Chains A and B, each alone.
Chain A
Amino acid sequence: MEIIVCVKRVPDVAEVEVEVDRSGRALERQDLAYGINEWDNFAIEAAVSLVEAHGGRSTAVTVGGPEDEEVLRRALAMGVNEALHLCDPAFAGADAHGVALLLQRAIAARPFDLVLTGAISSDQRNGQVGGMLAALLGIPQVALATELKVENGRAVVRHEVEGGLERVVELDLPALVSVQTGINEPRYVSVRGIRKVADQAIPVLDAASLGLDAAQAQALLAQVRIEELFLPQRGKGAEMLEGSDEEKVLKLIERLRERGGL
């Protein structure tokens, strides 16, 4: 079975106070640490364990600059067999559709049974690439998968639907499945594991090798442009109630009364 897993390098902003840079359109990158998009980590684990169970080959693909190679190394350390780096200055600023287009051109040229993506990326939070890529490849897609099995050339997918419901669907391969967190327990990647794949060659595909004219690529790939990026206005600060538990409760009741809550 041939599995393609699409991954993205994102800034880790969970415990970080982000700042907008002078352009007003991007984050101040200096103090940010980057890593694999959390959802993609689950997609890689799904790809690796499917190949472990059924045989075949898994390939990780990313669109990004030279520094983004690190997530491909990480995927190799987790056990994917190959990696593919779509890298060209002309790809800068690509929007979701642009990224999907680049991925489609790279993937369509190869044999594949299953394409996996993360459900969403933690930085842009569009959640669009999976759907667009499936449409461009002309294959069926299931989003927000929480369980994924492959049986007799078909994928059986459990996934989240509206209203807290879950549904099990079956679809013919080839197909695209975008993966929700919690679908598995991704294996740990040790520093030594990364070092072990440091010498593995990662082919780089530029605009030309994807059949794109670098001069015109920008207009095609970056149709959605960021106008302004800003931190929301801070609301009025919360009030911390002091004292013993009993005093705190009394103060809370008092506040609620004052403001007509009781």
Chain B
Amino acid sequence: MSASDVTLPAPAAQDLLGLPAPAFHLAMLVLAAAAFGFILWKRARLLLQGAPDPRLDRIGTRLARLLFLGFGQARQPRYPAAGVLHILIFAGFLILSLRSLTLLGEGFSAGFALPGLAGRAGAAYASLKDWTALVVLACCVVAAVRRALFAPARYHDRHARKSHAREAYVILGLISLLMVADALYEGAALAGSGGAGPRLPLASAAALCLGGLPDAALGVLHLSAFWIHNAALLFFLCYLPVSKHFHVITSLPNVFLLDLRAGGAVKPPRHGAVDQGAAEALGVGRLEGFTWKHLLDFYTCTDCGRCSDQCPAYATGTLLSPRMISIKCRDLAYQCFPLLGATVPPEERPALVGDVIAAGEIWSCTTCGACEEVCPVLIEYVDKIVDLRRFLVDQGDVPPSLQKPLAALEKHGNPYGKMARKRGDWAGGGEEGGSGVRVLKEGESADLLFFTDSCVAYDPRLQRIGQALGALFGAAGLDCGTLGKDEVDSGHEARRMGEEGLFETLRDKNLEALGRRTFARLVTADPHAMSALKNDGYGLAQPILHHSQLLAELLAAGRLVPGPLGDERVYTFHDPCYLGRHNGEFAAPRAVLSALPGLRLVEMARARSRSFCCGGGSLYLFSEVECEARMGELRLCMAEEAGAQVIVTACPFCLLNLEDAIKTSGREGRMEVLDLAELVVRSLNRGVVG
């Protein structure tokens, strides 16, 4: 503490409202702690009723993620301006928390210092704290001005019924008040003792302003600033859990409790249930149906709008805004589990599905995961959407456009309703195709099993991907077979549409067919199929590859020798959601592209984990979602902005959606979409010729 303590009265030494300061301070603390504890207890009631969700495995990994994503604020810089402001304020929050404790201590004992913060360390901390307070104050001013005058579009959600702007200003005001009050508390002391200097910039500035005031006035100011600071601090604490700034308390736990399952996996209908089908109703139809962690997500949402800013369904004007799922569920939670009064019984509440969240929102999601990738506090959306769909499916409430493909999956094993017998025909003739892929009968074996999935097996355009891959496997001398008519759909979309029972039926059929053949590795051209086979409980022992991974391997080993493409056009790679974002494979397709001589490649602004969904795969091709623009057309615009004329992708559905977008937007002849395999075949043919 500075020399001022000699001249100005210490807060702890004064009586207040007839009480000794420590007693008054204790009363304040007890009151605040009681209010805070009461609010948290009320908030926790709902969490305690949530569905089970095991989140305490792999503690080491969780701590590392907490350090990186929580304390390290690793996702903040995705939005540079807001991100830097937040990182500075958050760092300030951590540094100044020691100061807050110190000031709470000073209410009891004059000249209180935290252990280890006396003497030289204390002086160093005092300087650090003062500089930090200056930075935080500046950040608050910038943030307020930014919100008032230069607010990003994402702050206002077009589906929002009310704004949380007022809460934001209250919080910025409270933080600023804390900074200013502390500056006045110290500044008054400095003005009395003349200890101002660059070591304490904010307090010195305050001292400068207060210079010339009589000692008595400085004393009053010193004491008032102290009490205002501590009162504001305790009010702040209790205000957090009733505002969108609950995240100040819940976000670090929420990050620690993140979903550590493989990317792209969907949660089981109920964690820990032996028979998933046994429950009376499946999915989530009311608040308590969500897992406790998913309820904690709702509390944790900061309303920053980044999820919806990244969401392709929001960008194309559908009913869905992921942010609003959190906000509306939180509003419902606060309404049904009020701070004062009894819990509203389920039959008196608005219906979660229908009144609060419309079916149209639930069916608009492509499960691309862009929202989850960007959320700074790791809120999960895809699992919630799937749980809500499970409820709708269980109630029989499925849009007619989706009922047909689902019924076809059940009857024929493919969403098109084509004959199961024709599933292997794409390979050419059914038996030994000219493509280098043969249909394996039961008991036969091959080094490589090519899992086609329904789209590549039946769609005439997508069969060409299978044929291109077959040609490449042939050229590389691989021994490759498929299941032919014994394969059924991987069930990836059925599961994500909430039809868990159908998914299980399909998976079991595939497992039976796979179990009757011997193979060392499995490859597929469809990232959705790859993701399902890897992450949706197939439990296969063999490695499961995406064709981009296998092609990268074959090119690196020299088993495929590409030639110069001789194409002046500029290429770009579109990351499929289930290859990149959900399964973390960004490198393999790029390794393939960079192995092709003479390819002019650019990256789109939204590449890799920020990739923008093409419109979704499989059953999404059948769904009719009301929208203003098509995701595929927006993606073409992004490719154009990057200066590309050819979009290379590695997913059959991306190919279909983007090709359709080229036609519907009149870009035929100007743009082209290719699968990675098709491009390698082109390059290989050049290689042979050249």
List A residues at the B interface (Cβ < 8 Å).
Answer: 12, 14-17, 31, 33-35, 78, 185-196
In the complex the two chains form, is B420's CB within 8 Å of A31's CB? yes
In the complex the two chains form, is B396's CB within 8 Å of A187's CB? yes
In the complex the two chains form, is B393's CB within 8 Å of A188's CB? yes
Nearest neighbor of A195 in chain B, beta-carbon distance: B277
**Which of B38-46, B240-248, B411-419, B558-566 makes up part of the contact surface?**
B411-419
- Which 7 A-B pairs have CB atoms at the shortest separation, nearest pair first? A187-B396, A191-B501, A188-B398, A192-B501, A33-B411, A15-B417, A191-B502
Query: Is B407 an interface residue when CB atoms closer than 8 A count as contact?
Result: yes
Q: Given the complex, which residues of B lie within 8 Å of A12, measured CB to CB?
A: 408, 411-412, 417
In the complex the two chains form, is A78's CB within 8 Å of B396's CB? yes
Q: Given the complex, which residues of B lie within 8 Å of A196, measured CB to CB?
A: 277
Q: How many Å from the CB of B504 to the closest CB on chain A? A: 8
Complex CA distance for A203 and B500, rounded to whole angstroms:
30
Nearest neighbor of B411 in chain A, beta-carbon distance: A33
In the complex the two chains form, is B419's CB within 8 Å of A190's CB? no
Q: Given the complex, which residues of B lie within 8 Å of A31, measured CB to CB?
A: 419-421
In addition to A14-B417, A15-B408, A17-B419, 19 A-B residue pairs with Cβ atoms within 8 Å of each other are A15-B412, A15-B416, A15-B417, A15-B418, A16-B419, A31-B419, A31-B420, A33-B412, A188-B396, A188-B403, A190-B393, A190-B502, A191-B410, A191-B499, A192-B500, A193-B394, A193-B396, A194-B501, A196-B277
In the complex the two chains form, is B501's CB within 8 Å of A195's CB? yes
Q: Which of B493-522 contact A (CB under 8 A)?
A: 499-502, 504-505
Q: How many Å from the CB of B393 to the closest CB on chain A? A: 5
Query: Is B266 an interface residue when CB atoms closer than 8 A count as contact?
Result: no
Complex CA distance for A191 and B421, rounded to whole angstroms:
23
Query: Is B397 an interface residue when CB atoms closer than 8 A count as contact?
Result: yes
Q: Given the complex, which residues of B lie within 8 Å of A187, measured CB to CB?
A: 395-398
Instruction: Answer whether A192 and B282 are a contact pair too, CB < 8 Å, given A33-B411, A35-B411.
Output: yes
Query: Is B400 an interface residue when CB atoms closer than 8 A count as contact?
Result: yes
In the complex the two chains form, is B397's CB within 8 Å of A188's CB? yes
Query: Is B190 an interface residue when CB atoms closer than 8 A count as contact?
Result: no
Looking at chain A's contact residues, the main secondary structure is loop
Q: How many Å from the CB of A34 to the closest CB on chain B? A: 8
In the complex the two chains form, is B394's CB within 8 Å of A190's CB? yes
Complex CA distance for A175 and B398, rounded to whole angstroms:
31
Q: Given the complex, which residues of B lie within 8 Å of A16, measured CB to CB?
A: 417-419
Q: Given the complex, which residues of A lie within 8 Å of B420, measured CB to CB?
A: 31, 33
Q: Given the complex, which residues of A lie within 8 Å of B406, measured CB to CB?
A: 188
In the complex the two chains form, is A192's CB within 8 Å of B418's CB? no
Interface residues on B, range: 20 to 34
Nearest neighbor of B276 in chain A, beta-carbon distance: A192
Q: Given the complex, which residues of B lie within 8 Å of A186, measured CB to CB?
A: 403
Nearest neighbor of A32 in chain B, beta-carbon distance: B419
8 chain-A/chain-B pairs, Cβ below 8 angstroms: A12-B412, A12-B417, A187-B396, A188-B393, A189-B396, A193-B394, A193-B396, A195-B277
In the complex the two chains form, is B407's CB within 8 Å of A35's CB? yes
Q: How many Å from the CB of B425 to the closest CB on chain A? A: 11
Q: Given the complex, which residues of A lie within 8 Å of B501, measured CB to CB?
A: 190-195
Nearest neighbor of A12 in chain B, beta-carbon distance: B411
Looking at chain B's contact residues, the main secondary structure is helix
Q: Given the complex, which residues of B lie within 8 Å of A35, measured CB to CB?
A: 407, 411
Complex CA distance for A16 and B396, rounded to whole angstroms:
27
Q: Given the complex, which residues of B lie within 8 Å of A193, measured CB to CB?
A: 394, 396, 501
Q: How many Å from the CB of B360 to the closest CB on chain A? A: 14
Complex CA distance for A15 and B407, rounded to whole angstroms:
13
Q: Given the complex, which residues of A lie within 8 Å of B417, measured CB to CB?
A: 12, 14-16
Q: How many Å from the CB of A71 to the closest CB on chain B? A: 12
Q: How many Å from the CB of A38 to the closest CB on chain B? A: 10
Q: Given the complex, which residues of A lie within 8 Å of B282, measured CB to CB?
A: 192
Q: How many Å from the CB of A16 to the closest CB on chain B? A: 5
Q: How many Å from the CB of B622 to the closest CB on chain A? A: 13
Q: Given the complex, which residues of B lie within 8 Å of A15, measured CB to CB?
A: 408, 412, 416-419
Complex CA distance for A188 and B501, rounded to whole angstroms:
13
Q: Which of B384-403 contact A (CB under 8 A)?
A: 393-398, 400, 403
Complex CA distance for A188 and B365, rounded to whole angstroms:
20
Q: How many Å from the CB of B384 to the closest CB on chain A? A: 19
Q: How many Å from the CB of A44 to the closest CB on chain B? A: 11
Q: Which of B403, B419, B504 has the most CB of A within 10 A?
A: B419
Of the candidates A185, A192, A194, which one forms a contact with B394 in the assembled complex, judged by CB atoms under 8 Å apart?
Answer: A192
Q: Which of A33, A187, A191 has the most CB of B within 10 A?
A: A191
Nearest neighbor of A14 in chain B, beta-carbon distance: B417
Q: Given the complex, which residues of B lie within 8 Å of A191, measured CB to CB?
A: 410, 499, 501-502, 504-505
Q: How many Å from the CB of A120 to the closest CB on chain B? A: 19
Q: Given the complex, which residues of B lie within 8 Å of A189, measured CB to CB?
A: 396
Q: Given the complex, which residues of A lie within 8 Å of B411, measured CB to CB?
A: 12, 33-35
Complex CA distance for A187 and B410, rounded to whole angstroms:
16
Q: Given the complex, which residues of A lie within 8 Å of B395, measured CB to CB?
A: 187
Q: Given the complex, which residues of A lie within 8 Å of B504, measured CB to CB?
A: 191
Mask of B143-159 contacts with A, CB within 8 angstroms, 1/0: 00000000000000000
Q: Which of B625-651 contact A (CB under 8 A)?
A: none
Complex CA distance for A236 and B169, rounded to whole angstroms:
75
Complex CA distance for A12 and B405, rounded to whole angstroms:
13
Mask of B424-463 contacts with A, CB within 8 angstroms, 1/0: 0000000000000000000000000000000000000000
Q: Which of B325-366 contact A (CB under 8 A)?
A: none
Nearest neighbor of A34 in chain B, beta-carbon distance: B411
Q: Given the complex, which residues of B lie within 8 Å of A192, measured CB to CB?
A: 277, 282, 394, 500-501
Q: How many Å from the CB of B44 to the closest CB on chain A? A: 33
Q: Given the complex, which residues of A lie within 8 Å of B418, measured CB to CB?
A: 15-16
Complex CA distance for A188 and B411, rounded to whole angstroms:
14
Q: How many Å from the CB of B129 to the closest CB on chain A? A: 60
Q: Which of A185, A190, A195 has the most CB of B within 10 A?
A: A190
Nearest neighbor of B502 in chain A, beta-carbon distance: A191
Instruction: Answer whether A185 and B400 are a contact pair too, CB < 8 Å, given A190-B394, A190-B499, A195-B277.
Output: yes
Nearest neighbor of B506 in chain A, beta-carbon distance: A191
Nearest neighbor of A33 in chain B, beta-carbon distance: B411
Q: Given the complex, which residues of B lie within 8 Å of A185, measured CB to CB?
A: 400
Q: Given the complex, which residues of B lie within 8 Å of A190, measured CB to CB?
A: 393-394, 396, 499, 501-502
Q: Given the complex, which residues of B lie within 8 Å of A34, measured CB to CB?
A: 411
Q: How many Å from the CB of B421 to the closest CB on chain A? A: 5
Complex CA distance for A17 and B420, rounded to whole angstroms:
11
Q: How many Å from the CB of B281 to the closest CB on chain A? A: 10
Complex CA distance for A34 and B501, rounded to whole angstroms:
19
Nearest neighbor of A31 in chain B, beta-carbon distance: B421
Complex CA distance for A192 and B392, rounded to whole angstroms:
13
Q: Which of A15, A35, A185, A188 has the most CB of B within 10 A?
A: A188
Nearest neighbor of B393 in chain A, beta-carbon distance: A190
Complex CA distance for A46 and B294, rounded to whole angstroms:
38
Complex CA distance for A129 and B440, rounded to whole angstroms:
47
Complex CA distance for A27 and B408, rounded to whole angstroms:
20
Nearest neighbor of A35 in chain B, beta-carbon distance: B411
Nearest neighbor of A36 in chain B, beta-carbon distance: B407
Complex CA distance for A195 and B393, rounded to whole angstroms:
14
Q: How many Å from the CB of B347 to the closest CB on chain A? A: 18
Nearest neighbor of A185 in chain B, beta-carbon distance: B400
Q: How many Å from the CB of B177 to the closest CB on chain A? A: 56
Nearest neighbor of A187 in chain B, beta-carbon distance: B396
Q: How many Å from the CB of A255 to the closest CB on chain B? A: 24
Complex CA distance for A15 and B458, rounded to whole angstroms:
11
Complex CA distance for A196 and B277, rounded to whole angstroms:
9
Q: Given the complex, which residues of A lie within 8 Å of B277, measured CB to CB?
A: 192, 195-196
Nearest neighbor of A15 in chain B, beta-carbon distance: B417
Q: How many Å from the CB of B546 to the closest CB on chain A? A: 28
Q: Given the complex, which residues of A lie within 8 Å of B421, measured CB to CB?
A: 31
Q: Given the complex, which residues of B lie within 8 Å of A194, measured CB to CB?
A: 501
Q: How many Å from the CB of B1 to the closest CB on chain A? A: 69
Complex CA distance for A17 and B421, rounded to whole angstroms:
11
Q: How many Å from the CB of B314 to the closest CB on chain A? A: 27
Complex CA distance for A189 and B395, rounded to whole angstroms:
9
Q: How many Å from the CB of B228 to the closest CB on chain A? A: 61
Q: How many Å from the CB of A243 to the closest CB on chain B? A: 12
